[in-house]
């Protein structure tokens, strides 16, 4: 199709110039977006993280402005090679993301909702009702009209983590409005405070089920590796790994028993903030975000590049 043909053209261009410092090309790409006023000013445009390893394969992650994360795709025999390959994957995705077809428009929303309906055997009339899965998906797209798919993925990562951490389940059990939850969390960003409180929740789960953290961390590491080998956007998987690693580091400390009681858990605190700022519990119910997130994930997986 046209999208794939356009991507292949860019892939050939970038591959042709791989010997021309792809790390510099990626930095220049985002620097130009900053100069054009298309993004907020930031100290570090592109951040690289090399995973410590005594021997190959070496792994490097690159985080772009806004939070999108990519890793090296190839088996790399040096840290420098891993850094270059991660930059190549990030540059390909960054460039591909600039295509008109990657921006959320009314036409894009209409097409995506129809695809979602056909995938789930749903009803197109549900698109106007945020109380349904199709309607919630449509609302999230509408709230992000004008943004690119990478920007949309950054917002979706918040909802993926809230689902994984159990926060959305708690809201569903309290019969909270999907519309209010979506509006509220679409404005939230991932930061150290968020990670710390999510880690605190997992500490509490570890107390209830000893060994759970190690099991979940092994699964997260596996998922991160599998996603990296397909060239996909990695932030959700990487955030899971870092949150669980943080929780496990505290779980191994001698003062584990007193730790969770020192402050309000992430779910308790975020629920409190939701209620006091704009949230309202209604008779409707909040369902799993996977019901409406999966449609974007399928689209993203097809177009995220190797």
Q: Which two tokens stand for residue 108?
A: 């894009």
| Euclidean distance between CA atoms 268 and 170, whole angstroms | 9
| Cα distances (Å, whole numbers) of residue 131 to 125, 155, 176 | 12, 20, 10
Q: Please state which of the ranges 20-29, 30-39, 166-175, 219-228 shows the lowest mean pLDDT.
A: 30-39
Q: Is the pLDDT of residue 248 over 80?
A: yes
- CA 306 from chain centre, in angstroms, equals 18
Domain residue limits, the chain:
2-102, 106-303
Average pLDDT value for the chain: 79
Helix (H) or strand (E) holding 164, with range, is helix 149-165
The DSSP output letter for 148 is B
| Euclidean distance between CA atoms 84 and 109, whole angstroms | 35
First to last CA, the chain: 17
259 phi and psi, to 5 degrees? -65, -50
The predicted pLDDT at position 288 comes to: 37
Question: What is the percent of the chain where pLDDT is above 70?
Answer: 73
| Euclidean distance between CA atoms 246 and 305, whole angstroms | 30
Q: Is the pLDDT of residue 293 over 50?
A: no
pLDDT tens digit sequence for 117-158:
998 888 899 898 888 889 988 999 999 999 999 999 888 998
- Compute how many other C-beta atoms are within 10 angstroms of the C-beta atom of residue 78: 10
Q: Which two tokens stand for residue 88?
A: 């190549």
Evaluate the CA torsion angle 172, 176, 179, 184 in order and state its sign. negative
Q: Rounded mean pLDDT of 285-296?
A: 37
How does residue 178 score in pLDDT terms, banded at 50, 70 and 90? confident
pLDDT tens digit sequence for 41-51:
555 689 999 99
The predicted pLDDT at position 20 comes to: 66
The predicted pLDDT at position 302 comes to: 40
- Residue carrying structure tokens 């959305």: 168
Helix (H) or strand (E) holding 209, with range, is none
The predicted pLDDT at position 27 comes to: 92
pLDDT tens digit sequence for 185-233:
888 788 888 888 899 989 999 989 999 999 999 999 999 999 998 889 9
The predicted pLDDT at position 199 comes to: 92
Annotate 117-133 with b (16+ C-beta within 10 A) or e (fewer). Answer: beebebeeebbebbbbb
Pick the CATH number of 2-102 from 3.40.50.300, 3.90.550.10, 3.30.160.20, 1.10.10.10: 3.30.160.20
| Cα distances (Å, whole numbers) of residue 185 to 15, 30, 95, 154, 297 | 38, 27, 28, 12, 18
Q: Is the pLDDT of residue 263 over 80?
A: no
| Euclidean distance between CA atoms 218 and 223, whole angstroms | 9
The predicted pLDDT at position 104 comes to: 95
The predicted pLDDT at position 301 comes to: 42
Q: Rounded mean pLDDT of 89-109?
A: 93
Q: Any idea how long the chain is?
A: 306
Is pTM, for the whole model, over 0.85? no
The predicted pLDDT at position 6 comes to: 53
Q: Rounded mean pLDDT of 29-40?
A: 76
Q: Which two tokens stand for residue 237?
A: 């998987």
The predicted pLDDT at position 5 comes to: 55
Taking a C-beta distance cutoff of 8 angstroms, is the pair 39, 30 a contact?
A: yes
Q: Is the pLDDT of residue 286 over 80?
A: no
Q: Please state which of the ranges 81-90, 113-122, 277-286 shows the lowest mean pLDDT.
A: 277-286
148 phi and psi, to 5 degrees? -85, 170
Comparing C-alpha atoms, which of 126, 107, 169, 148 is closest to residue 296? 148
Helix (H) or strand (E) holding 231, with range, is none
98 phi and psi, to 5 degrees? -85, -10
The predicted pLDDT at position 34 comes to: 81
């Amino acid at each position: 199709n046209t999208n794939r043909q356009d991507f292949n053209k860019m892939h050939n261009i970038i591959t042709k110039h791989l010997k021309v410092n792809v790390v510099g090309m990626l930095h220049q790409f985002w620097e130009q977006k900053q100069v054009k006023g298309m993004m907020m000013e930031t100290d570090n445009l592109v951040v690289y993280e090399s995973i410590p390893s005594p021997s190959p394969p070496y792994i490097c992650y690159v985080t772009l402005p806004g939070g999108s994360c990519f890793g090296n795709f190839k088996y790399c025999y040096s840290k420098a090679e891993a850094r270059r390959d991660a930059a190549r994957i990030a540059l390909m995705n960054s460039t591909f993301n600039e295509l008109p077809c990657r921006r959320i428009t009314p036409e894009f929303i209409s097409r995506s909702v129809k695809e979602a309906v056909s995938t789930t055997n749903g009803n197109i009339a549900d698109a106007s009702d945020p109380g349904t899965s199709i309607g919630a998906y449509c609302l999230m797209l509408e709230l992000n009209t004008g943004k690119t798919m990478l920007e949309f993925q950054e917002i979706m990562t918040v909802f993926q983590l809230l689902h994984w951490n159990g926060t959305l389940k708690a809201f569903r059990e309290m019969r909270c409005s999907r519309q209010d939850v979506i509006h509220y969390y679409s404005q939230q960003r991932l930061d150290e405070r968020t990670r710390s409180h999510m880690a605190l929740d997992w500490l509490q789960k570890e107390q209830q089920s000893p060994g759970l953290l190690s099991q979940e961390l092994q699964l997260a590491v596996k998922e991160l590796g599998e996603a990296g080998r397909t060239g996909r956007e990695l932030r959700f998987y990487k955030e899971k790994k870092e949150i669980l690693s943080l929780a496990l580091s505290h779980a191994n400390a001698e003062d584990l028993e007193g730790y969770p009681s020192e402050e309000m858990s992430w779910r308790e605190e975020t629920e409190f903030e939701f209620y006091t700022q704009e949230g309202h519990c209604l008779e409707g119910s909040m369902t799993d975000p996977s019901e409406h997130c999966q449609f974007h994930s399928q689209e993203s997986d097809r177009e995220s590049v190797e």
